[in-house]
Each structure stands twice: as C-alpha cells, then as structure tokens.
Structure 1
Amino acid sequence: MSSSDGTVRPDFESVFRAEYGRTVAALIRRFGFEVAEDAVGEALVVALERWPVEGVPPNPGGWLTTTAHRKALDRLRRSEVGSRKESEASYLGSLPVEPLPDDGVVEDDRLRLVFTCCHPALALEARVALTLRLVGGLTVQEIARAFLVPERTLAQRITRAKKKIADAHIPYRVPSAEDLPGRLAGVLHVLYLVFNEGYLATAGSDVRDELALEAVRLTRVLHSLVPAEPEVTGLLALQLLTLARRPARVVDGALVPLDAQDRSRWDAALIAEGHALVRSCLEIGQPGPFQIQAAVAAVHTDAATFADTDWSQIVALYDQLLVVAPSPVVALNRAVAVGELDGPVVALRLVDSLELTDYADWHATRGELLRRLGRASEAASALERAAELTANEAQGTFLARRLAALPE
C-alpha cells in the first residue's frame, strides 16, 4: 500500500493484507462480489487517509468491515444498477449453508470464500487468481507480475471466473461433510501451486518470496479454520519445512543442490514448527500426499549433514507416496533417493524407465547420475537439454556451471 507521495507504509499494508479476505468475505454474502470488492477498496483508501493521523484502531478488521459495509450501502443507493446488485446480493444471501456441527468444520465466511474461489467448475488458473485476489488481497498487478501474464489478461480471467460463479449458481458455502474431503483436496492443490510458483518460479528470477509467503499465510488461515484436517496440517508443514531451506538454496544467482547447502543458514524456527506439525499428523494416523511429502522434508531437515540423511526412510516414504498419489514426478524423486542409497547405476535405470523427455528435472537428474558414473559426454547432453527446457534463471545458472565443470 502506497501513500499519495509514493512511499510505502508497510505497517498498514500488512494489516490491510491480513484483513482484506476476511472483510470481502463478510460482505459478499449480502452485496455480491463486485460491490463487496469495490466497497472494501474504498474502505482501505479511507483507512490510508485517516489511520496515519488517528492511529490504527484497536480492531482494524472490524473498522474496515463497518466502513466497507457503509460504502457498499452508499454505492447501492446511488448506483444506476442498484437493483441488479440487490438481486445478486439477494441470490447470494439465499444460498443454503449446511451446518457441520459434528466433524470439526468451522463455519466462517473466509472458508466459504476459499471453497467458492476453488470450485472445480472453474479452470485451475482462475481458481489460483481468484484465491489470491479475494482471499489473499493481492492486487491484479501483483498477481499478473507473479505469474508473468499481462495485467489485462489476469483481470479478464478474474472477471470471467466471477461471472461463471454467478451464471452457474456456484454456491457460497462450505461443502457438506460428505463432500468436504474431495473439495478440500482441490483447495490444497491451489495453495500448493501458489507456493511452488513462489518458491521456484516457472520462469524469470529464482523465487518470488511474496507469493510463497502468501501461500503459507493462506494455508495458516485454512488450518485455523479446519485444524482437524490432517492434509491441511501436512501442507502447512511441507511449506514451512521447504521454506526453511530458502536462505541456503540460492547463492550468487544459482541454485545450490541439497548436498552443497550451508545448513547453518536454514531457519531453525520454521523447522521446529514444521516438525511439530508432522508429529501431529502421525498421531492422527491418516496419511495423505501432503503429509507424506512433509515427512520427507522432515527427514531432510532432521539431518545435521547431507551424509547423515536417512535415505532408506525417504525411499520408504516415496514408496508410500506412490501408492496414494502415483505420478512420474514422484517416481523420479524416489529414483534420486534410491541413487543415494543404492548408487547411480540403479538410479539411472529407474530414471530412464520414466522417459519424462519434456521435463527439465528429468534431464538434470540423468545428467547428474551420468556425471557420477564418469560418462561426461552423455552427462553434457542431458544437462544441455535440461538448460534448454528451463526458463528459471537460477536453475539455468546452476546447470551452466555444472556443464562447465565437466571434464573435456
């Protein structure tokens, strides 16, 4: 959030970002998406004008909600399309919200909004954009920049998604207890994609920290709303344990592989929190994909050195992951762990059986195994292909250095 002179007010911005989703969610039921967003935007402008002079109120969220509510009413009264908005608001207000008193689900407007934004009827790209905009409070400009798409394209994507919600009468509610597990998986997938794009961007610079941190914040919100759901806990643990390694992961513009990272730079507080979350998942005893991935991350962060890593445990966890969520990428990660346990010959045979020829990490993994086997020429070809397939600058720099270090 910037003032009129262009200076940034980080204290206010953090408050606005934290309260935006809560405030929009509170207004959508009565006023609909468009009026709710506009009213909250106007309330934020008033806050930016008044709070520097009067101070941040004791309950900033309540202040913003009250102010936005008044702005919404004013907008409806003076708008030429007020009757249409009232009709939309009436539709949203009439939607049934199924109470779920016996399964630990917390009724909360933000939770309804998350499930609406991540409804399976919407395209995945639209789900991601809507979640970041309405729940996370990111601007269209911020989201477009994060995903390297034109601002106009992103705005159109959000507009179409909101129109589809209205046209298809997608309900503004938490799914029934019976449907919750399947729908929750879709929400977690969106948050997982947002985190991954922030932690290792598909293209451009190495990371977009603000996107990864936003995914963690949204997952924390979801975890506070449905604390009994182990896969939510698992995703939060996975994010924290992954983010903990961030300070040692990129040095001088190049990715640093796990075996070369300075582990003293890992964030001990995030690791401790992540481990505690993994332990709580183990106590529940209902393993799912995110919990298993979090357990893998816990094993890595539990090792004082790369040599201390319990690779047999990691292979066993990947075996379990292949049962609950089989994919070629999981098989590739398992092959890397097998390479540390049984050697590069065994691992290369597993990697070659996958034939992920359009996947940069597959070629990079083959190149590393071939390098360890002393097959420099083949390693060079694999690393060159990996470099061609990646658009991430930090990964490209790492691959170029690996190539340069190969013997002639």
Structure 2
Amino acid sequence: MNHGVAALSGPAVAQALTRAHHEEWARLVAGLTRRFGDLDVAEEATAEAFVAAAERWPREGVPPHPGGWLATTATRKAIDRLRRESQREAKHLLARIGHDDAPPEPTGPVEDDRLRLLFTCCHPALAPEARVALTLRLLGGLTVAEIARAFLVRETTMARRITRAKARIKAARIPYRVPGAEDVRARLDGVLTVVYLIFNEGYLTGAGDDPVRADLTDEAIRLGRLLRTLLPADGEVAGLLALMLLTDARRAARVSDTGELVTLDEQDRGAWDRTLIAEGAALVRERVAAVAAGGDPAGRHQLQAAISLVHTEAPSARDTDWFTVAALYGRLVQLDPSPVVRLNRAVAVAEVDGPGAGLAEVDRLADVLDGYHAFHAARADLLRRLGRGGESRAAYDRAIGLTGNPAERAYLTRRRGQLVP
C-alpha cells in the first residue's frame, strides 16, 4: 500500500466511494465543464474517474484527499479522450488549455462552478423538463432512473431527454456563465424548480438504502443561499430558501431509530432544528411584509413556505391551523394547478371538511396520479378513517409497491398491518 493512504476494509472503501460520489460529483463535472467547455467530456471523464477509484482504492487504499485524487484523475481522463478525438475542435481545445497564458472564458459575476453550470443547464433554449433533468443528472448526481421517477416517466424516455439536452447545449453554443441581470428572469423559474427537486430527492429519496441523502438537501440549500446572494430582492428565491430551511429543520425527526418514516403528526417537535426554523420564518415574514407593502404577489414557493411555517409553528399536530393551510393551498392551486399540488390540497380539505370530502378530491386525480405512491398512500389513510378497511388495504398495497424509499415502505407496511380485518 502506498505511503499516506488510508488502510480501510472493503466495506469502508465502499463507504468512502459513496461519500466521495455524493460530495465530489457536482464539483468535478462543473469544474471540468469550465475547463473543457464540453458537458459530455466533463460527465464521462468524471464517471471514468470514479470507475478508476473503484478499481484502485480497494488495492491501494483511499487517498488522504479523495476529491483531489478524483479531480486529477478526471482531468487526465478528459485530456486522454480529447487526444483520441479526431475532430478539429477537440485538437483546438487541447492546444488552448495547454497554454497557461490563454485568456479564461468569461464566467459571469458568481465564482462558483456549480452555480454557473446550473444556469447553463437552465438556458431558455432548452425545454423546461430538459433543464430540470439535465441539472439533476450533472449537479445532483442522480441516476437516470431516479430522475425518471421524479418525473413519473420511463427511464428510456428520460435518458433520451438528457442526451438531447446536452446535444442542444453544444449545438447552440450556450455559454457557461451566470447570465446578466437582463437574462436572469428568463431562467430563474427553471433554476428554482431544479433546486427544489434536488432537495426533495435528498429529503426522501426515491430509491436506495438511505431514506435521506443529506448531501443532496445540503447542496440544494447551498445553491439556494447562493441564489439569494445573487438576487436578494427576489421573492421566489427567498421563498424557496425558506421552504427548504423549514423542511430540513425536521430532518432529525423524519426517520425513526428503526428506519421507519415518521409523519409530521407523529414527529418529536423537540428534535426540530430551531436555528433553521428561525432563519426560514424570518424569510417568510420578510416576504409577507413586502407583499403587504405593495410588492409583487406571493409566488408558489412563497406560498409553500408559508404553509410549512404554519405547520412548524403549531405546538402540536392537533393545534395545526388547517383552515389557513387549506386557504393557502387554494391560492397555490390557482398558480400551479398540478396534480401533486391538488393532492396536497385534498389532504388539507380532509382535515377541515372531513375524510369524505378529502377522498372525493383525491379520487378526481386517479387518472393522472395512478403511478404515484403518495396518491395511493393518501387514499389509504382516508379510506382507513372512513372505516373502509378492505379498500384501504388495497390502496396501501399499491403505495407500498410503488415506493422505493425503505423508510416510507416500512411506515406504510406498519399502517397496513394496523387495519382492522
């Protein structure tokens, strides 16, 4: 074993590889994109660096600075690939990066590779769904299968979408930089959507052994803070950051010691992070004051943050102001009448008007949400409350079959087992 490397067992090496992938993937892809100006080169070189690590670290040990080792290896892989290319463009790029005095490409006002890549992936030349998918792949490090689940589409469909998006960026010569002030608004909604989906995938992962991926939630919040620095007066930026902070504040209470999901009404509120709650609440109140003073009306992220604050400020689940929650969801549906938002509103309606009223709202979404596990979980709970045990059991079965999160599956299985025969 080489001097200076960590001697670890097989499982420990696997853990080190997983941790490095979570921590370094986005940084490597973004850094290589800045240097080489090619998303395919950046992504494939990064992937090859992790393959090399998987082969060498078990034999040679984990290097003391895994990120540096991966960056060096990925850079060499990128240069090797370009040397194998016959295109004139690849040879020109190699010649340019070989000279230290070559002028750097303009990158924009924010010196953060990942944020620049985020705006590149969210260029208006790309379709909205392509912007989100590409950024989740390149910055979030999510697999194509994970992204497909987030969009409720086939994996092959998502793979083609990502490939086409990268090709479009290359063909249109979309620049790798944070846009100027006049262009920010055109891209901001897509950027915020991307950041929130990254956060959601980390807060309750769609698949895998880990029910929560703190690396993704932390990365989303970091990107949210950077956006807040870049656009301090934008209400939706503040709203999204507030929403993520208030939600992440409950992370420690989200999963039990036995690995089971703990729903909001059962969580130990004493375990919530009060520092994050205070920061998120201050942002919400700032936006409420701005709207009251004649500012722009609250957007969807601000409304979601306000809903989260109502839940967070309730001393207990039974003290939740469901009338306010339902009213806020009503305003949100007017801005974003998506099936998932309507599902969440139906759950609030059930708390105000009873499970029968909520179930009627939920059932109207059957055609569009049949493949969504949360739809069947909501139906199962409402049917249980109505005493319709057989139908509730069938809905729990469907929800369990659709979820890939182990903590959520454990929770749904327990709830199904509590049904009266």
Place the TM-score, normalised by the shorter chain, in its bin: 0.7 to 0.9
Between the aligned partners of 2:19 and 2:403, the Cα distance in structure 1 is: 37
TM-score after normalising by structure 1: 0.73
Which residue is 1:383 aligned to?
396
Query: May I ask how many residue pairs the two structures share in their alignment?
Result: 380
1:247 aligns with 2:266: no
Deviations 1:24-72 (A, max 9, x none): 57646xx66678899999xxxxxxxxxx99x9xxxxx9xxx9x9xx99x
Contact 1:248 1:263 in 2 (8 A): yes
Alpha carbons of 1:116 and 1:234: their partners in 2 closer, same or farther (altered >3 Å)?
Answer: same
- 1:186 deviates by 0.7
2:407 to 353, 369, 394: 394
Structure 1: state its 5+ residue gaps.
Answer: 42-51, 56-60, 100-105
Which residue is 1:367 aligned to?
380
1:348 to 341, 353, 359: 359
Contact 1:20 1:135 in 2 (8 A): no
Between the aligned partners of 1:197 and 1:21, the Cα distance in structure 2 is: 19
2:331 to 320, 323, 330: 320
Contact 1:315 1:338 in 2 (8 A): yes
What SS is found at the alignment partner of 1:254? coil
What SS is found at the alignment partner of 2:366? coil
Between the aligned partners of 1:109 and 1:361, the Cα distance in structure 2 is: 36
1:258 aligns with 2:264: yes
Between the aligned partners of 2:321 and 2:356, the Cα distance in structure 1 is: 20
2:234 to 226, 229, 240: 229
Which residue is 1:103 aligned to?
none
Between the aligned partners of 1:238 and 1:84, the Cα distance in structure 2 is: 44
Report the more deviating stretch, 363-372 or 108-117.
108-117
Contact 1:191 1:215 in 2 (8 A): yes
Structure 2: state its 5+ residue gaps.
Answer: 48-62, 97-101, 150-156
Between the aligned partners of 2:82 and 2:385, the Cα distance in structure 1 is: 72
Between the aligned partners of 2:220 and 2:335, the Cα distance in structure 1 is: 24
Alpha carbons of 1:164 and 1:9: their partners in 2 closer, same or farther (altered >3 Å)?
Answer: closer
Alpha carbons of 1:88 and 1:280: their partners in 2 closer, same or farther (altered >3 Å)?
Answer: farther
Please show how residues 89-168 of structure 1 align to structure 2 within 5 Å.
Answer: 110=113, 111-122=115-126, 127=131, 131=135, 161-168=165-172
Between the aligned partners of 1:349 and 1:77, the Cα distance in structure 2 is: 59
2:184 to 180, 183, 208: 180
- 1:227 deviates by 2.0
Between the aligned partners of 1:390 and 1:351, the Cα distance in structure 2 is: 18
Between the aligned partners of 1:331 and 1:37, the Cα distance in structure 2 is: 37
Between the aligned partners of 1:21 and 1:372, the Cα distance in structure 2 is: 49
1:282 to 288, 292, 297: 288
1:201 to 202, 205, 214: 205
Alpha carbons of 1:279 and 1:35: their partners in 2 closer, same or farther (altered >3 Å)?
Answer: same
Report the more deviating stretch, 157-166 or 386-395.
157-166
Between the aligned partners of 2:349 and 2:374, the Cα distance in structure 1 is: 16
Which residue is 1:300 aligned to?
311
Contact 1:237 1:277 in 2 (8 A): yes
Between the aligned partners of 2:7 and 2:159, the Cα distance in structure 1 is: 26
Contact 1:124 1:190 in 2 (8 A): no
Between the aligned partners of 1:377 and 1:76, the Cα distance in structure 2 is: 59
Paired amino acid for 2:175: P
Between the aligned partners of 1:12 and 1:257, the Cα distance in structure 2 is: 31
Q: Percent identity?
A: 48
Report the more deviating stretch, 76-85 or 294-303.
76-85
TM-score after normalising by structure 2: 0.71
- 1:169 deviates by 1.9
Between the aligned partners of 1:385 and 1:76, the Cα distance in structure 2 is: 46
- 1:15 deviates by 9.7
Contact 1:234 1:291 in 2 (8 A): yes
